[in-house]
Amino acid sequence: MKLQDRGLETLKPPYNKQAMIIRLTLLAWAGLTVLAFATFNYKDIEVIPAVVKTADILKTMFLQPRFSHLTFTDALGQLMITAGLAFLTTMLGALFALILGLLAASNLSNAKVSVAVKAVVAFIRAVPTVLWVLIFAIAAGLGSVAAVIGMTFHSISYLVKAYSEAFEELGQDGIEPLKASGANWLQIVFQAVLPSSITYLISWTFMRFEINFAVALAMGAAAGAGGIGYDLFMASAYYYDVREIGAITYLILAFAILLELLAGRIKKKMRAHE
């Protein structure tokens, strides 16, 4: 018996204009990618030998790592400089972002002030960190000072958005009873908003620290901020020592894994005390 005979109609997926646009966009990108690879000027490069050579370089880099122009102790010290730069900019950014985040939260601040703060930090966040570093380098010169100011500037804009959204999760339902009981703004913030949002604040701050660590690596070479990023730049662009590149990469990877484990343990302890 047919479905129509039983009073049922076959369901057809509704026409979704948005899905169609996404499919057409993906097809266009795929076509442009194929066209690009077909029309590249390879300058008589033989693809297969190039792939074999690349694989050989990667094997040397990651299976035979070795420090040549600096010792492991020196590399560890430079890594700590990079981590210190990331930590400093994250802490400064978190301090200012906490204050601005309270002003940007729509449930804690005036509507006009909230919109103004969000608009300013959105503009700052839209500009890449490296451009802010180069902008401040005009006044402070290339070096660690410009890197710290530029990275802190961008960290503030990033964390203001994260913190304000965490504060807004509380909503008016959790604030109105405190207001009705006579609590002032500071009491509401310190007794309700911050305790309920502390886990999210720590998570976002650690995420920004990881981002700042990656940015500090790039700033070590681009802005002359020093640290392990500068040594990685020298090993790759000046010495072209692939074994040292591999050793530095492993050192950075080990530190990144350590950060992730540390962040996980801190978040577990915070949840246990909630």
User: What pLDDT score does 3 carry?
Assistant: 47
Q: How far is residue 186's CA from residue 63's CA, in Å, rounded to a whole number?
A: 57
Q: Rounded to 10 degrees, what is the CA torsion of 154, 160, 165, 168?
A: -170
What is the gyration radius of the CA atoms in the chain, in angstroms? 26
SS3 track for the chain: CCCCCCCCCCCCCCCCHHHHHHHHHHHHHHHHHHHHHHHCCCCCCCHHHHHHHHHHHHHHHHHCCCCCCCCHHHHHHHHHHHHHHHHHHHHHHHHHHHHHHHHHCCCCCCHHHHHHHHHHHHHHHHCCHHHHHHHHHHHHCCCHHHHHHHHHHHHHHHHHHHHHHHHHCCCCCCCHHHHHCCCCHHHHHHHHHHHHHHHHHHHHHHHHHHHHHHHHHHHHHHCCCCCHHHHHHHHHHHCCCHHHHHHHHHHHHHHHHHHHHHHHHHHHHHHHCC
102 Cβ contact partners less than 8 Å away, ≥ 6 residues apart? 108, 109, 163, 164, 167, 189, 193
Tens digit of pLDDT per residue, the chain (274 long)?
A: 444 555 445 555 555 778 888 889 999 999 999 888 778 777 777 778 888 998 999 999 999 999 988 899 999 999 999 999 999 999 999 999 999 999 999 888 888 999 999 999 999 999 888 888 888 888 777 778 888 898 998 999 999 999 999 998 876 666 777 777 777 888 888 888 888 888 889 889 988 998 999 889 888 877 667 789 889 988 888 888 999 999 999 999 999 899 888 888 877 776 666 5
- The answer to whether 78 and 228 are in contact (CB under 8 A) is yes
Q: Please, what are the domains in the chain? A: 70-272 (1.10.3720.10)
Contacts of 229 (CB under 8 A, 6+ apart): 82, 216, 217, 218, 219, 220, 221
The reported pLDDT for the residue numbered 184 is 83
Distance (Å, rounded) from C-alpha 93 to C-alpha 111?
A: 24
